[in-house]
Amino acid sequence: MATLIGGIGTSHIPAIGGAIARGQQQEPYWKPFFDGFPPIRDWLATTRPDVMVVFYNDHGLNFFLDKMPTFAIGAAPEYRNADEGWGIPTLAPLQGDPELSWHLVNALVEQEFDIVSCQEMQVDHACSLPLKLLYPDGDCPVAVVPVCINTVQFPLPKARRVYALGKAVGEAIRAWDSSKKVAVVASGGLSHQLDGERAGFINKAFDLQFLDSMESNPEWATQFSIHELVEKAGTQGVELLMWLAMRGALAAAGPRVRKLHRSYHLPISNTATAVMALELVQAASR
């Protein structure tokens, strides 16, 4: 059976791509964010996952307001990245793992999640940047399965539902008849609001409580309605739903996680950023 080794959470901001392109990782503005990644890269170099399931939200590239699935899973052999501007380098296509994609689609529909399966899918910064941050040199060595969760157009899925989706993904990974090692990635958050009267809104106290909950009380944020999450984390901060899905997948695979890394830094652009890696303690003994 496949092994789920752990989970990684990171903020995504298009400007990060521009900083990578300009080699600004060591500049004071960027360094606290980029410094989150070497410890995680060391872990990946040791554990060498084959596939990453990436929970992310599309921002209008592959799905626009006219067609907005709540949950969509990529089932393509490769995923092209499209440049949204702000200096993001155009990256090589990410390789897919259609066998895992279809396994997830089947398992989730069986669990009564109504999934849109996408045999063609373009991915934006939310999917491509985490991979570039984890594997900065050359082409990405892992295959990816993008799992897109709507945080763009209301109604959004509830936090409890997203956590349950993550759990179903974790169970399906564990049940996958494969010798591959899998990691789950969350891309989004933490608190930020890009528009409206509260543009620039950041809530550090809430973010830190949310990060604590990822370590010790993963269901904590499922108590909140979407409107409460928007109130606490900002209109785009609701992207933290991705972290709940990632953490749900880990919870389904084992009772204990070990924190490998956690950092929090604000702001980058309009966003309070976080980077975290959690290793599944049970994974090694399975």
Number of residues that bind ligand DHB (CB under 6 A): 12
Helix-strand-coil split of the chain, %, nearest 5: 40, 25, 40
Question: What CA–CA distances, in Å, run from 45 to 100, 135, 141, 244, 247?
Answer: 22, 10, 11, 25, 22
Contacting ligand DHB within 244-283 (CB under 6 A): 269-271
Residue 126 belongs to what H/E stretch? helix 125-134
- Residue 239 or 279: the one with the smaller Cβ distance to ligand DHB is 239
Please state the closest distance from residue 12 (CB atom) to ligand DHB, in A.
Answer: 6
Judge whether 59 counts as a catalytic residue. Answer: no
CA 241 – CA 212 distance, rounded (Å): 15
Contacting ligand DHB within 151-190 (CB under 6 A): none
- Residue 38 or 60: the one with the smaller Cβ distance to ligand DHB is 60
Helices (H) and strands (E) in the chain, counts: 9, 11
Active-site annotation holder among 192, 227, 261, 265: 192
Judge whether 192 counts as a catalytic residue. Answer: yes
- Residue 62 or 236: the one with the smaller Cβ distance to ligand DHB is 236
CA 7 – CA 130 distance, rounded (Å): 12
- Residue 70 or 128: the one with the smaller Cβ distance to ligand DHB is 128
Give the pair of three-digit tokens for residue 166.
């993550």
Contacting ligand DHB within 38-77 (CB under 6 A): 59
Q: Residue 197 has what DSSP assignment? A: T
Q: What are the residues facing 73 on neighbouring strands?
A: 117, 147
Mark residues 193-232: x for contact with ligand DHB by CB under 6 A, - for none.
-x--------------------------------------
Please state the closest distance from residue 90 (CB atom) to ligand DHB, in A.
Answer: 17
Applying CB under 6 A, does 9 fall inside the site for ligand DHB?
Answer: no
Active-site annotation holder among 125, 227, 261, 265: 125
- Residue 174 or 192: the one with the smaller Cβ distance to ligand DHB is 192
Task: Give the pairing of strands 3-10 and 271-280.
Answer: antiparallel
CA 145 – CA 207 distance, rounded (Å): 27
Contact residues for ligand DHB, defined by CB under 6 A: 12-15, 59, 192, 194, 236, 239, 269-271
Residues classed as catalytic: 125, 192
